[in-house]
Amino acid sequence: MKIAYADPPYIGYSRYYKDDPNCAEVDHNELMAMMCREYDAWALSCYTNSLKTILGYPSCPEDVRIGAWIKPFCSWKPNQRIVYAWEPVIFWNPRQKVGKEVSVRDWISANMTMEKGLMGAKPIKVCYWLFEVLGAEAGDIFTDLYPGTGIVTRAWENWNNQMSVKNLPMFESALTQHAPDAAKAAAQKGVLRKNRSGKRAGVA
Ligand SMILES: C[S@@+](CC[C@H](N)C(=O)[O-])C[C@H]1O[C@@H](n2cnc3c(N)ncnc32)[C@H](O)[C@@H]1O
């Protein structure tokens, strides 16, 4: 499967990246049209204030879903009564998985990053969640269209190399957070689950 992830500047905010010679407003209508044409599945990070606009563009497929990156720790701006504490992620055509696969929530909770040298750099936990939401599998072709710090591609390489996010200690808690009831029930029954590398691992 060919997968794209787009994390362009928010609509109207490309000036935040004026040090980048490529910096310019991104036409989100064209971007979605291109991703639908050239990829099997995609995810697009955006801003709550532009969600209505983006969903209204002709190129936005009817069957997109909206996920959320919830930010318990985020930037509090003076004079902003209602803090912007989450970021929408529009995703399209994720791989359908059936059977024993672990389900994934349509949101992830992770603090905003700091001191990464770029506004909007994604936490690694968000990257792994993106791969899970899209149903990515090792060997898929993944393209990060707006790399910034490059963290999303590095996370993909790590995820891909290890064959299974379930081998990554930091993601384990995210997975149990995704399906706490199922994980608890399985643990109570002493159920063990095989991860993708073939090793047996507890789910709780
Ligand atoms: C939100 S940041 C991406 C952050 C990245 N996902 C990360 O986690 O580090 C957006 C990036 O797009 C770049 N950019 C700005 N305008 C662009 C354009 N018109 N075409 C391509 N890249 C652009 C910015 O310089 C910035 O690196």
Q: 98: pLDDT confidence band, cut at 50, 70 and 90?
A: low
3-class secondary-structure state, position 82: coil
Determine, yes or no, domain membership for 185: no
Q: Alpha-carbon torsion 173, 178, 182, 184, what sign? A: positive
Report yes or no on 47 lying in a domain.
yes
pLDDT > 60? residue 156: yes
Expressed as residue numbers, the domain containing 50 is: 2-161
- Ligand 1, atom 1: closest residue by C-alpha: 120
Q: How confident is the model at residue 115 (pLDDT cuts 50, 70, 90)?
A: confident
- Domain presence at residue 17: yes
Query: What mean pLDDT value characterizes the chain?
Result: 84
Q: Is residue 168 part of a domain?
A: no
Closest residue (by CA) to atom 21 of ligand 1? Answer: 22
Domain containing 156 — which CATH number?
Answer: 3.40.50.150
**CB-neighbour burial class of residue 7 (10 A; exposed 0-12, middle 13-18, buried 19+):** buried
Percent of the chain with pLDDT over 90: 66
The arithmetic mean of pLDDT across residues 167-194, rounded, is 47
Residue 98, class by beta-carbon neighbours within 10 Å (0-12 exposed, 13-18 middle, 19+ buried)? exposed
Q: Which residues on adjacent β-strands are paired with residue 92? A: 42
Among residues 194, 11, 7, 191, the alpha carbon closest in space to that of 116 is found at 7
When pLDDT is averaged across residues 125-129 and rounded to a whole number, the result is: 96
| pLDDT confidence band for 148 (50 / 70 / 90) | very high
**Do 1 and 140 form a contact (C-beta atoms < 8 A)?**
yes
Take residue 51 and report the two structure tokens written for it.
């969600």
From 5, 11, 23, 119, mutation site for ligand 1 pocket: most ligand atoms within 8 A of C-beta? 23
pLDDT at 116: 85
Other beta carbons within 10 angstroms of residue 70's beta carbon come to 14
Examine residue 92 and state whether it is found in any structural domain, yes or no: yes
Q: In the chain, pLDDT over 70 holds for what percent of residues?
A: 77
Residue 182 lies in a domain: no
User: Which strand (E) or helix (H) includes residue 42?
Assistant: strand 41-45
The better pLDDT of the pair 173, 137 is held by 137
Domain count, the chain: 1
Judge whether residue 63 has pLDDT over 80.
Answer: yes
pTM for the structure as a whole: 0.83
Q: For ligand 1, atom 23, which residue shows the shortest CA distance?
A: 23
- Indicate whether 131 belongs to any domain: yes
- Residues 6 or more apart from 148 whose CB is under 8 A from it? 7, 118, 120, 121
Confidence of residue 192 (pLDDT cuts 50, 70, 90): very low
- Classify residue 179: in a domain, yes or no: no
